[in-house]
Amino acid sequence: MASSEGRRLRVGIVGAGVMGGHYATVLHEYPRSEVVAVCDLARDRAAALAVPSGADVFDSVEAMLAGADLDAVVVATPDWTHRGPAVAAIAAGKAVLCEKPLATTREDCAAIAAAVAERGVPFMVNFGNRHRPAALRVRQALRGEGMGAVQHVHTRLNERRDKTATLSWRAQTSPVWFLLSHCVDLVGWITGEEFVRVYSPVGGGGDDVVAVLAELRNGATVALESAWHLPVGFAPQIDFRVEVITEGGALQADLFPHDLQLFTTEAQALDHSFGVRDVAGRLVGWWQQSVRYFVDCVLDSHEPSPGVREAWRVTEVLLAIDASRRSGRPEEVAGVGGDGQA
């Protein structure tokens, strides 16, 4: 791409739901990007999201790609619907920022990967937890502070039922795809190791609770857990933590910091790592930084990460977890596009 000095990345957003709204806010306020188009099957919802930026409104991806002058497209649709808009945008030569996970089937992952390989456009799946300061610090510590080889990782991500109950497409997903996708990516990223085997029995929590015992390529074990039906009275709202045991030490990190207690009709522990404004009125936070990172990579001709193959590996792990829950047995993690064992 030509010199980015003074340029603003012109972005179209596909999906005007909650996540589409978050993307629109960050991209509209970031000096290096602008929202020029919003697309949603519900045109009135797209129109409402387009108001702050004055973006054009479309009710199909094809119409948006044909009618808007775009550099990049954000795919902010439900997790099993990413293939269509992603492949269309890639085929049109646009950079793509896709919500996690990459896709929910091997066929969809392969189609997106093939499109990226053919057109060579920047592509990133937004596993934004990589930009949390605590996660970055854990990764750095495991690589440079004499910790030795990783022996065991335990991570959990649990949410209250009043959050997940608001999902209009809740019946089409599960804690495996909605929550554990974050954990799987995080473990692979901080350790630099790949999952080779998983086992996930269906216990008393049924489809609302997922527990996984896994093995990494270096022989380390991993315990993963997610539940999305914590009671409304669970004050922290989200329970997100990672613990690592190595040959030379141990690490523990709370990935959802709660640094303020608010007492009204009920006690709440508030998270100030997402969407807080600084004294100049600018949005700060780990997820916002992840979106800006994508914009910077595209404008400055750097390859964003995680790309399609890293994200495909996450999907293969999640598919193996689902298979284990059906079979009641440990399942091998399939390879990615001819790579062999993932």
* 91, 180: one domain: no
Q: Give a yes or no: residue 339 inside a domain.
A: no
> What is the per-residue pLDDT for 167?
85
> What is the per-residue pLDDT for 162?
85
Q: Give a yes or no: residue 147 inside a domain.
A: yes
Give pLDDT tens digits for 257-316.
777 767 777 666 777 777 788 899 988 899 999 999 999 999 999 999 999 999 999 999
> What is the per-residue pLDDT for 164?
83
> What is the per-residue pLDDT for 237?
81
Most confident of 192-206, 258-272, 312-326: 312-326
Is residue 322 scored above 60 in pLDDT? yes
* 68, 99: one domain: yes
With bands split at pLDDT 50, 70 and 90, how would you rate the model's confidence at 341? very low
> What is the per-residue pLDDT for 67?
97
Q: Give a yes or no: residue 102 inside a domain.
A: yes
Domains held by the chain: number: 2
* Mean pLDDT score, 189-205: 94
Give pLDDT tens digits for 61-114.
999 999 999 999 999 999 999 999 999 999 999 999 999 999 999 999 999 999
Give pLDDT tens digits for 25-47.
999 999 999 999 999 999 999 99
* 206, 321: one domain: yes
Is residue 3 scored above 60 in pLDDT? no
* 120, 139: one domain: no
> What is the per-residue pLDDT for 1?
46
Q: Which domain holds residue 26?
A: 9-127+295-304
* 135, 91: one domain: no
* 195, 137: one domain: yes
With bands split at pLDDT 50, 70 and 90, how would you rate the model's confidence at 146? confident
Q: Give a yes or no: residue 340 inside a domain.
A: no
* 121, 227: one domain: no
> What is the per-residue pLDDT for 342?
40
Give pLDDT tens digits for 115-124.
999 999 999 9
Extract the runs of DSSP E, i.e. beta strands, from the chain. Answer: 9-14, 33-39, 56-58, 72-75, 95-99, 123-126, 150-160, 195-199, 209-216, 221-230, 238-246, 250-254, 258-263, 267-271, 274-277, 283-285, 331-332
> What is the per-residue pLDDT for 276?
85
